Amino acid sequence: MMPKYIATPNRTKEILAKYKFAFKKSLGQNFLVDANVLENIIGHAGIDKHSGTIEVGPGIGALTEQLAIHSDKVVAFEIDQRLLPILKDTLGEYSNITIVHQDILEADVHSVISKNFTPGQPIHIVANLPYYITTPILMKLLREDLPVESLTIMIQKEVAERMAAAPNSKSYGSLSIAVQYYTHADVVMNVPKSVFMPQPNVDSSILRLVKREHPPVQVEDEDYFFSIVQASFAQRRKTLRNNLTRHFEDIYDKGTVSEILEEINIDGTRRGESLNMEEFAQLANAFYQREQ
């Protein structure tokens, strides 16, 4: 007999009706109701029975259940108090799940990891992230240098494309650089909106991020590097020289900006989208050194 998995339209409706649960738009709640998509997420996540897994926003437990079956231990962060009794019910038979009732953006994830996983255990983050807050969550998880090997996340298709984009493409921007500074990024699968309840307005993608041991470039100061990258894309149609002149308007005039660009052989008439990460590092380091 097939297990009665949570991720089906009927089972999801049954659970929601039992608890009279109403979706909160403000929390970006869209629950997965397709077991095949979950199997694909699990397949791409690279987890096994030795792995520890972290989930953000378990909802009613569809993905959490599959993580519990396929990994050693699951820790799931859930912000919505109304879902706690539902999760207790739907996941009651699994002894390897811990639900943390906390906003992931405010959580001390390092201490949660040391409390719940054994030292040296391979840890993977696997989540269907709420669209409205994908980037802040992801950047927190990447910038805190957590001891995780990979992140396999379902996010809005357009955002996934931006995170994995290469230079000289329409999707490439400061988000591409930020994500690829910390990880190797690949869109591994597209997911139609029809597999969610309620249906979102856009399609999703599964993005696989494998943590780098070291960033691919050396920068003098990470925050400074990211601020230069963002400034270079501030107005996409403007040249690098114009965007940087605007960024440094209180410190340098256009002539000084041009001079620094010439020193490192970067043509100021180029646009931000044409620079690769090595060139951005060169750019940021040159301006940073000038300011010291």
Per-residue pLDDT tens for 160-173?
999 999 999 999 99
At residue 1, the pLDDT reads 30
Q: pLDDT digits over 114-131, tens only?
A: 999 999 999 999 999 988
How many Å apart are CA 39 and CA 65, to the nearest integer? 11
Annotation-wise, does 261 bind a ligand?
Answer: no
Annotation-wise, does 30 bind a ligand?
Answer: yes
Annotation-wise, does 32 bind a ligand?
Answer: yes
How many Å apart are CA 36 and CA 52, to the nearest integer? 22
Can you read off the two tokens belonging to residue 158? 């357009």
Mean pLDDT of 266-292: 96
pTM for the whole structure: 0.93
If pLDDT is split at 50, 70 and 90, which confidence band does 27 have?
Answer: low
Span 222-291 CATH architecture: Orthogonal Bundle (1.10)
Report CA-CA distances (Å) from 128 to 32, 171, 189, 242, 265.
9, 22, 13, 39, 43
Task: Give the range among 152-156, 170-174, 194-198, 255-259 with minimum mean pLDDT.
Answer: 194-198
Mean pLDDT of 42-65: 96
How many Å apart are CA 103 and CA 110, to the nearest integer? 14
Annotation-wise, does 128 bind a ligand?
Answer: yes
Span 9-211 CATH architecture: 3-Layer(aba) Sandwich (3.40)
Same fold flag, 9-211 and 222-291? no
If pLDDT is split at 50, 70 and 90, which confidence band does 3 have?
Answer: low
How many Å apart are CA 136 and CA 61, to the nearest integer? 23
Q: Where are the domains of the chain?
A: 9-211, 222-291
Mean pLDDT (the chain) is 94
Q: Is the pLDDT of residue 285 over 60?
A: yes
Mean pLDDT of 28-36: 84
Between helix 157-164 and helix 174-182 the angle, nearest 10°, is 70
Annotation-wise, does 65 bind a ligand?
Answer: no
How many Å apart are CA 124 and CA 152, to the nearest integer? 8
At residue 31, the pLDDT reads 86
